[in-house]
Structure 1
Amino acid sequence: MSSQLNVAVVGAGYWGPNLARNFRVADDWNLAAICDLDLARAERVANSVGGVHVTQDLAEVLDDSTVDAVAIATPARTHHPIVLAALEAGKHVIVEKPLADTRERGAEMVERARDNGLVLMADHTYCYTPAVLKIRELIEEGALGEILFVDSVRINLGLIQPDVDVFWDLAPHDLSIMDFVLPGGLDVTSVSAHGSDPLRTGKSCVGYLAMPLSSGGIAHVHVNWLSPTKIRQMVIGGTKRTLVWDDLNPQQRVSVYDRGVDLALQSKETADTRAANISYRLGDTWAPALPEQEALANVAAEFASAIRDGRPARTDGESGLRVLSVLEAASASLAVSGAPQHAETYIKEVQEA
């Protein structure tokens, strides 16, 4: 293996150009090829990064012994056959979210990568932003205490997807972040989903997802294609402090509030009395300094590091499976008018895979 790893990008649509640009400038990588059924589209992407080999033939890429890895940026319904073919050809794989269009297919991909001794990485890009990396660090060091709740909002106007509902389109971002930062990952006990289809598209355009956590807290996700305002925000409340992540505020993306109910001063007796007896803590608010880095540069570096170290990536295939487990439970809940669907079976199957 040379000092640089050779990677081919498969898919030159929405996300492929971003992957190509970052692999092109990364010290760890040599961008070897761009593959897309639309050759003209592949050529446009190749020209935008200074020129690289283009092809319509996936087999050509997979038969090339000099290609170490492939980055897949195609629709979710195509991930399963492409990933399996790449793994059978001995290529390490990074795949755009969601990992697959079903948990069963995703599980087969994870198992095949494990059997072949290859890295399968989920491109959960938000997890590699400086803000989310800092959130993970703060939670790991205990700055927030035990997690009581997570409240996430991801809303905007458009783009209504033709093949998936708003849960499968937007919620993977929030779910992957929760899986990345929460102790024990995305370990939920049940999933309740409520959706609305005011445009009569045949799928939910507005959605609410509620998930009790096995730790005793609760997580909530609001996703919406129809909001005239764009909001990307997550609130994580702990026994010590509460953190607010506002992705659209570059001046202060992460704020930590030393405010809340002082649980240490509460007893069962006082908790049962009127609210006037509750002790509130009103402390300082601070914002950690964060570097300005493109998340995909960190994704590319992590992918190379995992390959060279022979270890799972920080967002490995199993993290992608945990997200798929919640999405499938959400779909099952929607089918029964929002009734909670137990998710322990999904999570246990993933952990025991």
Structure 2
Amino acid sequence: MSTRLSVAVIGAGYWGPNLARNFRASPDWHLAVICDLDAERAQRVADSVGGVPVSTSLDDVLADPSIDAVAVATPARTHHPIVLAALKAGKHVIVEKPLADERERGAEMVAEARARGLVLMADHTYCYTPAVLKIRELIADGFLGDILFVDSVRINLGLIQPDVDVFWDLAPHDLSIMDFILPGGLNPETVAAHGADPLGTGKSCIGYLAMPLAGGAIAHVHVNWLSPTKIRQMVIGGTKRTLVWDDLNPQQRLSVYDRGVDLSLQSKDTAADPRAANISYRLGDTWSPALPEREALAGVAVEFAAAIREHREPRTSGGSGLRVLSVLEAAAGSLQNLGAPIRIDVTETNAEVEDVKA
């Protein structure tokens, strides 16, 4: 289909300029307008992409019949009213993470999009990086075997957010990646979270989140605003191989280790140590798959257009965003209960999203 779709970017703050730049560069899209309450800020973004009309009125943008879709890059607390207004105006929507500031509001957004036959896409940008796409492929092909654990670390110095804690700020990245790569998506039955606020900011600045997964596996996420070093790493252990993703190492983002623990056929009667009778250690090769270097947001723009044209759910749909919200809300509940595990109604979440992972 050669005709470009028309998109408006709502919000010219931190993330809006990145969306504007990628939509402007995409052959699938015509960037129609930058909308922000601050006209000067909107104009700066418009000028940075070679000149685009600006508007301070969301109502005017949504009333424009030539605009097919909107990209929402505003604070999380505003996502619900903006997205609902856009959907009711007949616009397809992509919204930055998190999908909403409450799970119930996110569910309403997902239901509204489906009732109207419109695309609601979560901008889980990391899921469109070459590294994460490769991880998803390797897991789907069974290269790692059955997943035993996922251990994710996302720490750096700042930025301490004024309206959300470190879980809501950083963990959505890791949770959306897990939802994207794990067979069946992210569906833990319980979530336990521990947080600390050593600076007295009124919110957790350091956090640890643990989730049991299917088959006895476990996922763990460490997020931190106070670390002097920056780490973006995920370790995924399987019954066959273990994968390490180091997002800050462009020379070797992925490393696959043919090392692990195997169940041995050795008899307990002949084993030197009966406690180790059924365990053996595998020490094999390590290799790093070659990955292309390309901006993930370009892939986001392509997927958004394809989902609209093909009348299908995007890879990171509203359902994916809703699963992430379910974990975040359970984590908040666990924090309030001194780290006690909070149960998630997996059946209810799956029934609401009916997500298609194409």
TM-score (norm 2): 0.95
Relative to structure 1, the CA distance from residue 147 to residue 63 in structure 2 (aligned partners, 3 Å threshold; closer, same or farther) is same
Shift of 1:349: 1.8
CA distance in structure 1 between the aligned counterparts of 2:266 and 2:75, rounded to whole angstroms: 51
What SS is found at the alignment partner of 2:215?
coil
CA distance in structure 2 between the aligned counterparts of 1:293 and 1:264, rounded to whole angstroms: 43
Relative to structure 1, the CA distance from residue 57 to residue 216 in structure 2 (aligned partners, 3 Å threshold; closer, same or farther) is same
Matches within 5 A, 1:11-160: 11-160=11-160
> For the Cα contact (< 8 Å) 1:265–1:279, is it kept in 2?
no
CA distance in structure 2 between the aligned counterparts of 1:180 and 1:330, rounded to whole angstroms: 20
CA distance in structure 2 between the aligned counterparts of 1:14 and 1:122, rounded to whole angstroms: 17
Specify the code of the residue in structure 1 equivalent to 2:286. Answer: T
What SS is found at the alignment partner of 1:211?
strand
Shift of 1:246: 0.2
Relative to structure 1, the CA distance from residue 93 to residue 147 in structure 2 (aligned partners, 3 Å threshold; closer, same or farther) is same
Shift of 1:350: 1.9
What does the per-residue CA deviation read over 1:95-136, in whole Å, with 9 as the maximum and x for residues that have no partner? 000000000000000000000000000000000000000000
Relative to structure 1, the CA distance from residue 281 to residue 115 in structure 2 (aligned partners, 3 Å threshold; closer, same or farther) is same
CA distance in structure 2 between the aligned counterparts of 1:309 and 1:119, rounded to whole angstroms: 10
Relative to structure 1, the CA distance from residue 58 to residue 334 in structure 2 (aligned partners, 3 Å threshold; closer, same or farther) is same
Gaps of 5+ in 2: 353-358
CA distance in structure 1 between the aligned counterparts of 2:151 and 2:57, rounded to whole angstroms: 44
Specify the code of the residue in structure 2 equivalent to 1:313. Answer: P
Shift of 1:87: 0.2
Relative to structure 1, the CA distance from residue 244 to residue 66 in structure 2 (aligned partners, 3 Å threshold; closer, same or farther) is same
CA distance in structure 2 between the aligned counterparts of 1:167 and 1:263, rounded to whole angstroms: 36
Specify the code of the residue in structure 2 equivalent to 1:298. Answer: G
2:356 equivalent to 1:348: no
Relative to structure 1, the CA distance from residue 246 to residue 229 in structure 2 (aligned partners, 3 Å threshold; closer, same or farther) is same
Superposition CA RMSD, Å: 1.5
Gaps of 5+ in 1: none
What does the per-residue CA deviation read over 1:329-348, in whole Å, with 9 as the maximum and x for residues that have no partner? 000000010001112x1x32
> For the Cα contact (< 8 Å) 1:192–1:210, is it kept in 2?
yes
Shift of 1:2: 6.8
Specify the code of the residue in structure 2 equivalent to 1:154. Answer: R
Q: Percent identity?
A: 78
What SS is found at the alignment partner of 1:174?
helix
CA distance in structure 2 between the aligned counterparts of 1:101 and 1:178, rounded to whole angstroms: 20
CA distance in structure 2 between the aligned counterparts of 1:121 and 1:305, rounded to whole angstroms: 12
Aligned partner of 1:174 in structure 2 is 174
What does the per-residue CA deviation read over 1:125-151, in whole Å, with 9 as the maximum and x for residues that have no partner? 000000000000000000000000000
Aligned partner of 1:315 in structure 2 is 316
2:295 equivalent to 1:294: yes
TM-score (norm 1): 0.97
Specify the code of the residue in structure 2 equivalent to 1:280. Answer: Y
Relative to structure 1, the CA distance from residue 288 to residue 236 in structure 2 (aligned partners, 3 Å threshold; closer, same or farther) is same
CA distance in structure 2 between the aligned counterparts of 1:6 and 1:70, rounded to whole angstroms: 9
> For the Cα contact (< 8 Å) 2:264–2:280, is it kept in 1?
no
Runs of at least 4 residues off by over 6 Å: 266-270
Specify the code of the residue in structure 2 equivalent to 1:305. Answer: A
2:313 equivalent to 1:327: no
Specify the code of the residue in structure 1 equivalent to 2:308. Answer: I
Specify the code of the residue in structure 1 equivalent to 2:326. Answer: S
Shift of 1:262: 1.4
What does the per-residue CA deviation read over 1:28-71, in whole Å, with 9 as the maximum and x for residues that have no partner? 00000000000000000000000001000001110000000000
Aligned partner of 1:338 in structure 2 is 339
> For the Cα contact (< 8 Å) 2:93–2:120, is it kept in 1?
yes
Relative to structure 1, the CA distance from residue 238 to residue 267 in structure 2 (aligned partners, 3 Å threshold; closer, same or farther) is farther
Shift of 1:214: 2.4
Which range moves more in the overlay, 274-283 or 248-257?
Answer: 274-283
Shift of 1:268: 9.1
Matches within 5 A, 1:115-264: 115-263=115-263
Relative to structure 1, the CA distance from residue 63 to residue 184 in structure 2 (aligned partners, 3 Å threshold; closer, same or farther) is same
What SS is found at the alignment partner of 2:274?
coil
Shift of 1:275: 3.8
Aligned partner of 2:279 in structure 1 is 278
CA distance in structure 2 between the aligned counterparts of 1:63 and 1:105, rounded to whole angstroms: 23
Specify the code of the residue in structure 2 equivalent to 1:291. Answer: P
What does the per-residue CA deviation read over 1:227-266, in whole Å, with 9 as the maximum and x for residues that have no partner? 0000000000000000000000000001100000013647
